[in-house]
Homo-oligomer: A and B are copies of this chain.
Amino acid sequence: MIIDCHGHYTTAPKQLEAFRDKQLAGLADPSRRPASVDLGITDDEIRASVEGAQLKLQRERGTDITIFSPRASGMAHHLGDPATAAQWARVCNDLIHRVCKLYPKNFVGVCQLPQVPGVPPSTCIKELERCVNELGFIGCNLNPDPSGGWWKDPPLTDRYWYPIYEKMVELDVPAMIHVSSSCNPNFHATGAHYINADTTAFMQLITADLFKDFPKLKFIIPHGGGAVPYHWGRYRGLAQDMKRPPLAEHLLKNVFFDTCVYHYPGIELLTKVIPIDNILFASEMVGAVRGIDPETGNYFDDTKRYIDQLNALSDQNRTKIFEGNARKVFGRLNAALKQRGLN
C-alpha cells in the first residue's frame, strides 16, 4: 500500500470560499455573516471536485490513500477572531469528513485547528477532540505562525503550546507543522513562508528539550523538512556547538520529514542524509506546484517517481517510506484502515 501523508483539499467546491467571504465580511458588518454553516455542497459536487484531481492522480501515479486535510493556505489563522476561527475550522473539517466518507478507501482525515494569533492553543482542543473522536481523523495541522508571516507567537517549544501537545499525546495523533498563507509581502507563501517555517520549527526543536517533556509527541515537518536535510551538517554542527545531544537521539524519535521535494536530486539527498525510519512518502498533490517538469516530462509533484528511481533503496526501506513509517507515526492509522476494510 502506498500512503501519501500530505494532501490538502485544494479543489473544494466554490461554495466553501463563498462561505469564507461571508464570514470575513461579517467581521466588518455582522449582517453579512453566513446564515448557516450548511455550505449547500452536494455529494456529487464533492465527487466532481476530487474525481478529476486527487483521485485521478492517485490512480495514474499508483498511490493508494491520502492523508487529507483542508487547504493549508486557506486556514489563514491571521484573519478573524476565535469565534470565526472555530466556525471556519469546523466547516473545513466537516468537508474533509464528507470526502473521507464518500471515498473511505482513498482518504483519511487530518484536521485544521482553530488557531488565532495571540490566543493560547488550548482553545483548539475541543475541535481536535471532535475531529479525532467523532470524525475519525488521525492527526492535525499545527501552524507555528498563526500571525501569517509576522511570527508573533512564541516558538513551538514554549509552554504556551503545551496544552495542545498534551491532548495530541493523549489522543495519539501527530501534527504536521504547517503554516498557512503569508500576509508579509517579504514571504511568498509556497516559495518562502512554507519552507522557512519548516526550517524554523526544526531549529526551535534543536534548542529546547520539548521531547523530554513529551516523549510521545510526534511532528511531521513537511516539504522535505524545508532546508534541513540540505544543511544537515550545519544542524548537526550547531547542535554540537550548543552541547545538545546528537540529533538522532535528540529529535529523531519524534520528528519526521515528508517527501514533498520536487526533483530527483533533492529526494536522493533526503534519503541519503535522513534515516529512512524518519521519512514519510508525500506529494502534496494537488498543491503548490502543478505543472509538468520540462526536464522529465512528468509532474513536478509526482514524488513517487523520484523514490522509484532510488536504486540504492532496499525493498524493505522503500516499503517503510511508502507505508510503514506512516503507520507508525499516525498511531490511529492502522485502525482507520482496518475500519475501511484495508490492511
Contacts and interface: CB of A to CB of B under 8 A. Distances in A.
A103 interface: no
Q: How many copies does the complex hold?
A: 2
A227 B199 contact: yes
Contacts of A51: none
A285 to B, nearest CB: 12
Interface string A124-143: 00000000000000000000
A96 B305 CA distance: 50
B235 A191 contact: yes
A234 B289 contact: yes
A211 interface: no
A127 B210 CA distance: 45
Contacts of A262: 231, 233-234, 237
A206 B192 CA distance: 11
Contact of A289 (B206, B227, B237, B294): B237
A37 interface: no
Interface in A135-181: 144-145, 149-151, 153-155
B188 A203 contact: yes
Contacts of A229: 230
A26 interface: no
Contact of A300 (B145, B190, B236): B236
Contacts of A13: none
B199 A186 contact: no
A223 interface: yes
Contact of A151 (B187, B207, B223): B187
A239 to B, nearest CB: 9
A195 B191 contact: no
Given A145-B186, A190-B238, 20 more contacts: A151-B187, A188-B203, A191-B234, A195-B199, A195-B227, A195-B231, A195-B234, A223-B231, A223-B234, A230-B230, A231-B261, A231-B262, A231-B266, A232-B263, A233-B300, A234-B261, A234-B288, A240-B291, A265-B272, A268-B269
Q: 4 tightest CB-CB pairs across the interface, nearest first?
A: A233-B263, A233-B262, A227-B227, A237-B289
Interface of A: 144-145, 149-151, 153-155, 184-188, 190-192, 195-196, 199-200, 203-204, 206-207, 223-224, 226-227, 229-238, 240-241, 261-266, 268-269, 272-273, 288-291, 293-295, 300-301
